[in-house]
Every structure is written in structure tokens, then in C-alpha cells.
Amino acid sequence: MHATILILNGPNLNMLGVRQPEIYGYETLTEIEAACRSHAATLGLDVIFRQSNSEGELVDWIQQARGRCAGIIINPAAYTHTSIALLDALLSVGMPVIEVHLSNIHAREPFRAQSITARAAHGLIGGFGGHGYILALYALTRLLTETKENQQ
């Protein structure tokens, strides 16, 4: 059976490719989802790909991942910088988490340099646009393989 990876996207990421392409590029979230699905298939992974503008809905999806998913890739968008609720949910879910950002949050406004949610992440990928999600899939595959090998 394939492991399932939950890929979560926070507020306004549904506007990707439609508004502000000078910052976030022309790739839409639907195109990022398609790329994730095709790379995941080559890695033998299933993907659940979701976006919400609501903090509570993102928390619900993280909680529901327990027992169903092997890992989480999350771009919390603006909640990165504000959400203790998302941090608590990610800390308690009991599986590897990778945080992804399209932009390099350290090269932008100072308020974006702090990630509250990254405390729960095994690692962070930023500044590579939509390709960051693919890099995260590879990183998660390696983490899950290492965990399996250590359990044997």
C-alpha cells in the first residue's frame, strides 16, 4: 500500500498565478498540485492536496491526518507568522512535517522572517517557487525510508 502525504496550503494561495505574479510567479496552485501528483506517483506516494483560507479548517485537516497519512507538507502562508493553533496541531500530529514557502521569507519584509509554525517542522524549504513542494516530497520520502530502516 502507498503511503499518503497530506499537502496543505494556507490563505490566499488559491490566488497564485492570478494576482501578484511578480512576487509569486505565474504557476497556479492547480499546476503545483498536478506536479506534486506526478512526482508523488514516481516516488510511490499518494497525495491529498488541500487549500483553505480558514485557520480552523487547516487545524481540522492536520488532526485528521493522524492514522491516515505518513507525513505533512505545509505552506501555512500568512499563518506561518501568526498561528500558535497551527503550531500546536503540527506538534501533536506525530508525523514528519516539512514547511514550504514559495518565496525566501528571510529576504523579504522583517515580519516574514519569523516562522511560528517552523518549530514543528523537520525542515524548511523556501525560495524555489512551486518546485519547493517537489523538493519537499523527495525530502519526506527520504525521511520516511530512514525511519522505516531504523525500525527494522
Catalytic residues: 24, 101
Report the distance separating Cα 96 and Cα 108, nearest Å. Answer: 27
Report the distance separating Cα 59 and Cα 72, nearest Å. Answer: 12
Toward ligand CA2, which CB reaches closer, 10 or 144? 10
Q: In the sheet that 3-9 helps form, which strands lie side by side, from edge to edge?
A: 45-51, 3-9, 71-75, 97-101, 123-126
Instruction: Write out the three cell numbers for 96.
Output: 514528519
Total residues at the site for ligand CA2 (CB under 6 A)?
16
Residue 131 in the binding site for ligand CA2 (CB under 6 A): no
Residue 133 in the binding site for ligand CA2 (CB under 6 A): no
Among 5, 40, 72, 77, binds ligand CA2 (CB under 6 A): 77
Instruction: Write out the three cell numbers for 100.
Output: 514550504
Residue 80 in the binding site for ligand CA2 (CB under 6 A): yes
Toward ligand CA2, which CB reaches closer, 96 or 130? 130
